[in-house]
């Protein structure tokens, strides 16, 4: 992957006012099982999204269950 493509994608994530990126990771190793507080993942995503981070990271399986393709 070229550096230009990477730079373009990173620019899309940056907050236009601050120039920073706030990313919230809602993933964990599946071997730990369901972690306390993540039982209602839809509610957690809504709560996190209401604070307007630039990105939310999820495991692929979680994203497939929570969002329509």
pLDDT in tens, 25-38: 987 766 777 778 78
The whole domain housing 30 covers 23-69
Place of tokens 């990173």: 10
Q: pLDDT-based confidence at 18, cuts 50/70/90?
A: very high
Q: Is 2 part of any domain? A: no
Please give the pLDDT value at position 51. 93
* Counted domains in the chain: 1
Does residue 69 have a pLDDT over 80? no
Q: Is 27 part of any domain? A: yes
Q: Is 44 part of any domain? A: yes
Q: How many CA atoms lie within 13 A of 31 on its CB side?
A: 0
Q: Is 65 part of any domain? A: yes
* Span 39-64, average pLDDT: 91
Q: How many CA atoms lie within 13 A of 54 on its CB side?
A: 15
Q: What is the pTM (predicted TM-score) of this model?
A: 0.71
């Amino acid at each position: 992957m070229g550096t230009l493509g990477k730079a373009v994608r990173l620019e899309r994530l940056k907050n236009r006012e601050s120039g920073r990126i706030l990313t919230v990771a809602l993933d964990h190793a599946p071997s730990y099982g369901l972690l306390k507080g993540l039982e209602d993942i839809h509610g957690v995503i809504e709560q996190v999204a209401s604070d307007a981070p630039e990105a939310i990271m999820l495991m692929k399986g979680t994203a497939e269950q929570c969002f329509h393709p």
